Structure 1
Amino acid sequence: MKAVGIILAGGNSHRMRELTSKRAVAAMPIAGSYRAIDFTLSNMSNSHIQKVAVLTQYNARSLNEHLNSSKWWDFGRKQGGLYVFTPTITADNGYWYRGTADAIYQNLDFLRRCHEPYVILTSGDAVYKMDYNKVLEYHIAKKADITVVCKELEDSEDASRFGTIKMDDSMRVTEFEEKPMVANSRTISTGIYIVRRRLLIDLIEHCAEEDRYDFVTDILIRYKNLKKIYGYKIKDYWSNISTVDAYYRTNMDFLRPEVREYFFKQRPEIYSKVSDLPPAKYNPGSVVKNSLVASGSIINGTVENSILFKKTFVGNNCVIKNSIILNDVYLGDNTYIENCIVESRDTIRANTRYVGENGVKVVVEKNERYAL
């Protein structure tokens, strides 16, 4: 494909509360065995994009570990491949990334050395499947300067979390508001953009000259009347995980058969780094209903409407309902967990009770176990 991919995975979401205190949002576990960034990387690979850069910054250790081998997403190749860029002190610059546009500016040499005519810009914190080739064809047909992938939200969802847009009959963007106080449109930007590489370099350089750092505010919104910016609407599943409630809801969606069918059984596949773990073990007396249980887990208690990630141990007489248990958690005997997200590598002591009564409760026990 005649495009290079850039995944902006360096940001921190304070709305994720304790969940991002030790990992980037793009490294958040999803659906038992995946990380959030797996969906974007798989889309890039399935769209035959051969060169992808991931820009990381905040709490990048976990994300960098996950990306330490590019072969899982078929980026282990002689030409192109997977590049991971973190902020670097140079003779000209000693800053961390100050925004999305600044992150691209600090790695502009990468874009200058590329020969692909187009750039696909995405975030690493959304769960979806997409063929970027179709968006690129639309972009070329419209003779657009920038194409924004957008989606119509359900009435129950909060559009003010996103950038909202309005378009005319030709799908050209006429209004763009970033995280408005009151949303006047149900059409939101998904954070996926296509732009010609040389135009992007020019726009980013102008931003840097004026000390502007944000791609949405300082490029999309400022240039919406000067450049031809078009919207490309999608109707398939798309979910952003940038808040605790959104993260919880996205994971719980995988308990629905149609969502599992879409992501796990329909082509193209979603790829991830593989852990060589034994299959989940269900001991006598265990009861599991409508749940996802990942490999390496041992179940002795009752699990209902929940997602258990890798290497979870559930003790005797434990009850887990409507909850997400992240990787490598030990749940002691007689524990009761409901409407909670339990942080990874935690040990929940026996006879403990956690219930999220006013929304989802994030459980963090300060007793991590360290390998020898």
Structure 2
Amino acid sequence: MKVLGLILAGGKSEALGKLVYKRASAALPVFGKYRAIDFTLSNMVNSGIYKVGVLTQYNPRSLMDHLGSGKEWDLDRKHGGLYILQPYLSMTGEYWYRGTADAIFQNTTMLRRGDEDYVLIGSGDHIYKMLYNDLFNYHFSKGADVTLLVKELDDTYNYKDYGFVVTESDGRIVEIHEKVENPPSRKAFLGIYFVNKYLLLDLLYDTVPAGKYDLLLDVIVPNLKKLRVYAYEFNGYWRNVKKGINEYYRTNMEVLNNRKIREELFLKNGKVYTKLKDYPPAKFTGTAKVSNSIISDGCIISGSVKNSVVFRGVVIRSGARVENSIIMQDTVIEEGAFVKNAIIDKNCVIRAEQMLVGDFEPVILEKWMVV
């Protein structure tokens, strides 16, 4: 069985504010040295999908620089490989992607020319780890036309931010409710579709030319009664960092503080691949004090770091204190500075003796800021 992977990675999230002024949400740095897209991309490769298209649009430079030729994911190959699918001006006047369905529709050439029979569609800003093989087997065992990945959410999620499905006893989806106040179930749709390629093409040609551009609301929902749409339940860890600053902060802190989550994400179901960088090992001087933190390669730590995620190349000088914070690449925190409940983007400088403390939600510094 040959499967084409498509990753929707062109979204702009207003909820992420300064963190996505200069990058797509799929390019958000997480856990010290990774990007959000690394997880979906690695899941596909670990599941034997070696032809992957990444649909980009908003601020793609950082994402494209990270992906490169796909070498780190073993996708720099003659047959298959990694494809960056950006919008472009065509003879028909098409240019900007107007929705998820339109993004795929504008790249139907990739679907028609390939010899794959099935398409797996995922999102580039979801943090989770799974092999898709059981999803494939479930799809065939049910004789499904479309299979959606779902998860039963607990109270740590804001239900208003998600779409929920109602299923029959055999798993067939009969209702889909998108972002409602009181959902009829707790089974949330995780933005992952598995579908026959030729069926997908028929559905897209039937809807997108008519001005309907959303894959879920305009393509799947109106055809629920006609198609056999099933739900495959995922029971592992899953977060969508696109949902906002608090969700992004929570995701990093959960990985930092929960050993089971770390083991699930990094030790099970294959590796998480990412772009390698030539930094030396982290250096801890005689004045360094570090507890319950992720310290990445290239860091020089002389101050105190507690309950924090510190990315590559960060310098924390003597007398500086960092608590409950996310410090991104090549930032410098000078002597005596105090940073707490903060998200500091790349290449920032916190001057000596300065205080940067967040209250109800983390305080954020965007790239290249000096305070």
TM-score range, shorter chain: over 0.9
Is 1:53 aligned with 2:53?
Answer: yes
Q: Does structure 2 conserve the Cα–Cα contact (< 8 Å) formed by 1:347 and 1:365?
A: no
The residue number in structure 1 matching 2:109 is 109
Write the letter of the residue equivalent to 2:98: R
The residue number in structure 2 matching 1:27 is 27
Identical positions, percent: 42
The residue number in structure 2 matching 1:285 is 287
Tell me how far 1:98 sits from its aligned partner.
Answer: 0.7
Does 70-79 or 357-366 show the bigger shift?
Answer: 357-366
Is 1:195 aligned with 2:195?
Answer: yes
Other structure's SS at 1:337 match: strand
Tell me how far 1:239 sits from its aligned partner.
Answer: 1.2
Q: Does structure 2 conserve the Cα–Cα contact (< 8 Å) formed by 1:348 and 1:365?
A: no
The residue number in structure 1 matching 2:170 is 170
The residue number in structure 1 matching 2:152 is 152
Does 164-173 or 346-355 show the bigger shift?
Answer: 346-355
How many angstroms apart in 2 are the aligned matches of 1:357 and 1:367? 20
1:308 is aligned, of 310, 316, 321, to: 310
How many angstroms apart in 2 are the aligned matches of 1:267 and 1:178? 30
Is 1:333 aligned with 2:335?
Answer: yes
Other structure's SS at 2:250 match: helix
How many angstroms apart in 2 are the aligned matches of 1:295 and 1:365? 20
The residue number in structure 2 matching 1:119 is 119
Other structure's SS at 2:223 match: coil
Write the letter of the residue equivalent to 1:349: R
Does 279-288 or 250-259 show the bigger shift?
Answer: 250-259
How many angstroms apart in 2 are the aligned matches of 1:302 and 1:70? 37
Does 31-40 or 256-265 show the bigger shift?
Answer: 256-265
Per-residue Cα deviation, 1:138-158 (whole angstroms, up to 9, x for no partner): 111111111000000112321
How many angstroms apart in 1 are the aligned matches of 2:116 and 2:184? 37
Tell me how far 1:335 sits from its aligned partner.
Answer: 1.1
Q: Does structure 1 conserve the Cα–Cα contact (< 8 Å) formed by 2:338 and 2:354?
A: yes
How many angstroms apart in 2 are the aligned matches of 1:126 and 1:155? 18
Q: TM-score, normalised by structure 1?
A: 0.96
Write the letter of the residue equivalent to 1:352: Q
Write the letter of the residue equivalent to 1:181: E
The residue number in structure 2 matching 1:263 is 265
Tell me how far 1:234 sits from its aligned partner.
Answer: 0.9
Write the letter of the residue equivalent to 2:192: I
Q: Does structure 1 conserve the Cα–Cα contact (< 8 Å) formed by 2:346 and 2:368?
A: no
Query: 4+ residue stretches of structure 1 with deviation over 4 A?
Result: none
How many angstroms apart in 2 are the aligned matches of 1:159 and 1:114? 38
- 1:35-50 to 2 correspondences below 5 Å: 35-50=35-50
Tell me how far 1:267 sits from its aligned partner.
Answer: 4.3
Other structure's SS at 2:130 match: coil
Other structure's SS at 1:270 match: coil
The residue number in structure 1 matching 2:234 is 234
The residue number in structure 1 matching 2:255 is 254
How many angstroms apart in 1 are the aligned matches of 2:344 and 2:191? 29
Per-residue Cα deviation, 1:319-356 (whole angstroms, up to 9, x for no partner): 11111011111112111111111111111222211111
Tell me how far 1:182 sits from its aligned partner.
Answer: 3.3
How many angstroms apart in 2 are the aligned matches of 1:365 and 1:262? 31
Other structure's SS at 1:208 match: helix
Tell me how far 1:176 sits from its aligned partner.
Answer: 0.5
Write the letter of the residue equivalent to 1:250: T
Per-residue Cα deviation, 1:107-157 (whole angstroms, up to 9, x for no partner): 111111111110000000111111112111111111111100000011232
The residue number in structure 2 matching 1:97 is 97
How many angstroms apart in 2 are the aligned matches of 1:264 and 1:132? 16
Q: TM-score, normalised by structure 2?
A: 0.96
How many angstroms apart in 1 are the aligned matches of 2:220 and 2:340? 42
Write the letter of the residue equivalent to 2:45: S
Ranges in structure 1 where 5+ consecutive residues have no aligned partner: none
Distance 1:267 1:203, change over 3 A: closer
How many angstroms apart in 1 are the aligned matches of 2:204 and 2:163? 20
Tell me how far 1:69 sits from its aligned partner.
Answer: 2.3
How many angstroms apart in 2 are the aligned matches of 1:37 and 1:328? 21
Does 172-181 or 304-313 show the bigger shift?
Answer: 172-181
Root mean square deviation of aligned Cα: 1.3
The residue number in structure 2 matching 1:206 is 206
How many angstroms apart in 1 are the aligned matches of 2:231 and 2:334? 51
Per-residue Cα deviation, 1:180-230 (whole angstroms, up to 9, x for no partner): 233332110111110000010111111222111111110122111221110
The residue number in structure 1 matching 2:320 is 318
Q: Does structure 1 conserve the Cα–Cα contact (< 8 Å) formed by 2:9 and 2:123?
A: yes
The residue number in structure 1 matching 2:215 is 215
Tell me how far 1:245 sits from its aligned partner.
Answer: 0.8
Tell me how far 1:160 sits from its aligned partner.
Answer: 1.6
Other structure's SS at 1:66 match: helix
The residue number in structure 2 matching 1:273 is 275
- 1:79-90 to 2 correspondences below 5 Å: 79-90=79-90
Does 150-159 or 58-67 show the bigger shift?
Answer: 150-159
The residue number in structure 2 matching 1:294 is 296
Does 347-356 or 241-250 show the bigger shift?
Answer: 347-356
How many angstroms apart in 1 are the aligned matches of 2:49 and 2:294? 31
How many angstroms apart in 1 are the aligned matches of 2:118 and 2:201? 11
Other structure's SS at 1:222 match: helix
Q: Does structure 2 conserve the Cα–Cα contact (< 8 Å) formed by 1:278 and 1:296?
A: yes
Other structure's SS at 1:59 match: coil
Distance 1:75 1:366, change over 3 A: closer
How many angstroms apart in 2 are the aligned matches of 1:282 and 1:95? 50
The residue number in structure 2 matching 1:343 is 345
How many angstroms apart in 1 are the aligned matches of 2:95 and 2:367? 34
